[in-house]
Chain A
Amino acid sequence: MTAPGPTGGAAGTAGGLRAALAERRFAVTAEIGPPRGADPAAVAEKAALLRGWVDAANVTDNQGAHVRMASLAGSLLAARAGVAPVMQLTCRDRNRIALQSDLLAAGALGIPHVLLLTGDHPCFGDHPDAAPVFDLDSVQLVWAARTLRDEGRLLSGRTVAPRPEFLIGAVENPFAPPVRFRAARLGKKIAAGAEFAQTQFVFDVPGFDRFMAAVRDRGLDGRCAVLAGVGPIRSLAALEFVRTKVPGVYVPDEVVRRLRGVPRDRVAAEGVRLCVETIEALRAIPGVAGVHVMAFGYERGVPEILERAGFRRDRAGRLPVGGGVGAG
């Protein structure tokens, strides 16, 4: 394959999040969870639903500490299907040798964006007996990625050539205690090299507004594109699940009341409406550069949500045009 260009990345996905942010368009990203199995079509199908609707899609890294196809492979498959991938990489399962090696692999394969995070503890997953690695933390991993890309050096100090070219992303949870430290923590990730950040689900818009005010006060909004996390709650069972089983998700009482207040067969529609309204509210908050739609298992619903929120299927993400990894 030819070397990836700074805006291109994996073949067939010219544009992507980097282009959206460079053009100062309101960015849209979504999520693709790779399958538990070796079926490449599972990724392609999810990508096909999102293609054109999103600037890029995160490919999760053994999300929730459950074994899935590797995010690097999932990212390649998404790119082949015409969606610019954001390869997630967590500190949970790899030491600094493996992490840097995966970053080089991402660079070699033209993965245009990486999202570097701590990761859920193995105790939440399907292998609670696994060793929790956590050799680096997420700030250190972002720092290592920037060093690799901008200085062409490993943590050991040894040089690498050529350097990877990906955009570096991180995550933040505006709602997790200590809440007043969260903007500062995002600042640490920015100081380490994060250029975009996706947040945990926003159900509490005023709370998120306060977080963004703190982000702006620190002058961080001009240095990092903040993409607010959103997603539809489509059943009362799902509501209970995100409230009690997903670490770090906060659902305010009024949202709970609203979803419980409609007839059971209307919860899904109400959840989608709430999600659309949330996106509209988030767009109005200064410093919000985009939204990140997490609709676990409901990828087919993402286009409807985006359409109702006023977006069109006009985002880069053409089918691959031969050459490189996209030619599959």
Chain B
Amino acid sequence: MSASEQPHPTRPSIAASTGYRLGRVLAPNRAYRWLAGRIEARPRLRRWFTAAERHSKQRLFGCRMCGQCALPATGYACPMSCPKQLRNGPCGGVSANGDCEVYPGRRCVWVIAYERAERAGHSADLTLLQRPVDHRLAGSSSWLNYWQGRDEGLWTSDDGLAHPAPVHRP
């Protein structure tokens, strides 16, 4: 699907375990930060890099290039493929069989996320509070944003029940 279509729940085409492994490979470090700086200094290279992310993640996850990737905390299922773009879990309209209320016949992406996260022993990730999306980042490379530290505090560090978490990014 292309990002210009209406969002619809998308089952990732790779296993969650592969996602977690990729997540570890992409974890920010000094080398990545240096690389991101070099890429961002060259507009054409940046466009090419962003297109590469778009193509690969669209195929793998139905990525919509929100620019602030939630995948590491959602069982590597993209929440922006939800027709309501919910970042904090499923709405109350999921059908008894687990289908999306808007697209009967398609499994709710949050049901998919829950199943993937649980199987991988990551279900506690889903209790973290996801902060509101910064729409200015739409269309930009989440990898560059990640390596440059621009998406820090996208979600809270715990479930926020013991101590209220601030809605503003730290």
Contact = CB atoms under 8 A, between A and B. Distances in A.
A173 interface: yes
A247 B132 CA distance: 25
A134 B135 CA distance: 12
B115 interface: yes
Contacts of A124: 101
A137 B101 contact: no
Contact of B161 (A132, A153, A190): A190
Interface in A99-117: none
A180 B94 CA distance: 13
Interface stretch (B10-18, B26-34, B81-89): B81-89
B108 interface: yes
A90 B102 CA distance: 17
Nearest to B132: A140
A184 B84 contact: no
Nearest to B107: A177
B126 A184 contact: yes
B120 interface: no
A123 to B, nearest CB: 6
Nearest to A223: B161
Contact of B96 (A134, A137, A171, A250): A250
Interface string B73-95: 00000000001111111111111
Interface in B109-165: 110-111, 114-115, 123, 126-127, 129-133, 135, 159-161, 164-165
A137 B86 contact: yes
A247 B159 contact: no
Given A155-B132, A191-B164, A247-B95, A176 B90 contact: yes
A307 B87 CA distance: 42
Nearest to B131: A140
Given A121-B102, A137-B87, A140-B88, A176 B94 contact: yes
B72 interface: no
Nearest to A153: B168
Interface residues of B, number: 40
B127 A187 contact: yes
Q: Kindly name the residue among B83, B87, B88, B95 whose own CB sees the greatest number of chain A CB atoms within 10 A.
A: B88
A171 B105 CA distance: 25
B114 A191 contact: no
A200 B84 CA distance: 19
A157 interface: yes
Contacts of A191: 129, 159-161, 164-165
Contacts of A120: 93
B1 interface: no
B113 to A, nearest CB: 9
B98 interface: yes
B87 A188 contact: no
B52 interface: no
B92 A177 contact: no
B84 A134 contact: yes
Contacts of B101: 121, 124, 247-248
Contact of B89 (A91, A134, A180, A188): A188
Contacts of A143: 129, 167
Given A96-B132, A177-B108, A177-B111, A248 B84 contact: no
A178 B88 contact: no
A132 B87 CA distance: 15
A147 interface: yes
Contacts of A91: 84
Interface in A260-312: none
B168 to A, nearest CB: 6
27 contacts: A96-B132, A118-B92, A123-B102, A132-B84, A134-B85, A137-B87, A138-B88, A138-B91, A140-B87, A147-B167, A155-B167, A157-B168, A173-B94, A176-B90, A177-B90, A177-B95, A177-B108, A178-B90, A178-B94, A181-B90, A184-B126, A185-B90, A191-B129, A191-B164, A191-B165, A192-B160, A200-B92
Interface of B: 83-98, 101-102, 108, 110-111, 114-115, 123, 126-127, 129-133, 135, 159-161, 164-168
Given A155-B167, A248-B92, 19 more contacts: A132-B83, A134-B84, A138-B91, A139-B88, A139-B89, A143-B167, A157-B168, A177-B97, A177-B108, A178-B94, A181-B89, A185-B89, A187-B161, A188-B89, A188-B127, A188-B129, A191-B129, A192-B129, A247-B92
